[in-house]
């Protein structure tokens, strides 16, 4: 199996060690950092494919580190936090995180979420030598190239995280159909709904931001109030 490098950033050594034990047992190579500064050094030195990031850290916290990673990289980020309130989750996801796990957590659940995010990331970032396919969707000003996971909005290519791509592809491949937030969560995350509404809404808000929906009168993603979201033909 090709070695996958995962970065764990947490100022609590016991937590970082626990995460390492379970991820190493799954076959991953784990690099630990106890501050954002140490984490950025590892990101420069290693080909990191996923970050497990604690929010509450001295100095630069996980939210700011997440924002800075997102300026240059679309690798999956799973945030860890002792805060379980919806507003805290929304804030974490709004900074660019793909998932949010509340402490204390079940290490097996974290391992499952890591596998899910990596699978999605691999699909979004195929090897450059992989042959490009012709499976495409063209709706309004939107082009989605499924086989090489390119998205073009009114002539401008945009970079999406794996979660964002999956949400957009789900809506675009079912034009005219309205998906509730619960349906989107179950189809994209492949999990039963658990406080999913805010998670889906935050990701769609980020997706719309990248698509510059706020600058156009004609929206690609339409909100059906009280029901869900859709993309018209």
- Above 50 in pLDDT, residue 129? no
- What is the per-residue pLDDT across 164-188, written as a single tens digit (0 to 9) for each? 999 999 999 998 999 999 899 888 8
Where residue 125 falls among pLDDT bands split at 50, 70, 90?
Answer: low
Look at phi and psi of residue 131 and say left if phi exceeds 0, alpha if psi is from -120 to 50, else beta. beta
**What are the sequence ranges of the domains in the chain?**
5-124, 136-231
Where residue 74 falls among pLDDT bands split at 50, 70, 90?
Answer: confident
Say which range, 42-51, 84-93, 155-164, has the weakest mean pLDDT.
84-93
Pair of tokens at residue 224: 């059906």
Say which range, 60-74, 146-160, 184-198, has the weakest mean pLDDT.
184-198
Judging by beta carbons within 10 Å of its beta carbon (0-12, 13-18, 19+), is residue 149 exposed, middle or buried? middle
The predicted structure's pLDDT at residue 195:
56
Give the SS3 label for residue 86: helix
- Above 50 in pLDDT, residue 133? no
- The reply to whether domains 5-124 and 136-231 share a CATH topology is no
- What is the per-residue pLDDT across 81-109, written as a single tens digit (0 to 9) for each? 887 677 777 888 888 899 989 888 898 99
Pair of tokens at residue 34: 């106890």
- Above 80 in pLDDT, residue 46? yes
The predicted structure's pLDDT at residue 179:
93
Measured between its terminal Cα atoms, the distance across the chain in Å is 42
Dist. CA 116–CA 120, nearest whole Å = 6
The predicted structure's pLDDT at residue 168:
94
- Classify domain 136-231 by CATH architecture: Orthogonal Bundle (1.10)
Judging by beta carbons within 10 Å of its beta carbon (0-12, 13-18, 19+), is residue 105 exposed, middle or buried? middle
Q: For residue 5, list its beta bridge partners.
A: 29, 48
Percent of the chain with pLDDT strictly greater than 70 = 91
CATH topology assigned to domain 5-124: Rossmann fold (3.40.50)
């Amino acid at each position: 199996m090709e070695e996958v490098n995962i970065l764990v950033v947490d100022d609590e050594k016991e937590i970082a060690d626990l995460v390492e034990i379970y991820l190493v047992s799954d076959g991953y190579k784990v690099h630990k950092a106890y501050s954002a500064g140490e984490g950025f050094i590892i990101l420069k030195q290693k080909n990191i494919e996923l970050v497990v990031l604690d929010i509450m850290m001295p100095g630069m916290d996980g939210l700011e580190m997440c924002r800075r990673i997102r300026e240059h990289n679309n690798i999956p980020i799973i945030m860890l936090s002792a805060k379980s309130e919806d507003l805290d989750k929304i804030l974490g996801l709004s900074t660019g995180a793909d998932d949010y796990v509340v402490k204390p957590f079940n290490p097996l659940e974290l391992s499952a979420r890591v596998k899910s995010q990596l699978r999605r990331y691999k699909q979004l970032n195929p090897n450059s030598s992989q042959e490009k396919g012709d499976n495409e969707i063209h709706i309004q000003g939107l082009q989605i190239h499924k086989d090489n996971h390119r998205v073009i909005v009114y002539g401008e290519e945009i970079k999406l995280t794996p979660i964002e791509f999956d949400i957009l592809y789900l809506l675009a491949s079912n034009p005219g159909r309205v998906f509730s937030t619960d349906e989107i969560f179950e189809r994209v995350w492949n999990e039963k709904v658990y406080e999913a509404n805010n998670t889906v809404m935050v990701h769609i808000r980020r997706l719309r931001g990248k698509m510059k929906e706020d600058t156009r009168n004609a929206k690609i993603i339409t909100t059906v109030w009280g029901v869900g979201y859709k993309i018209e033909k």
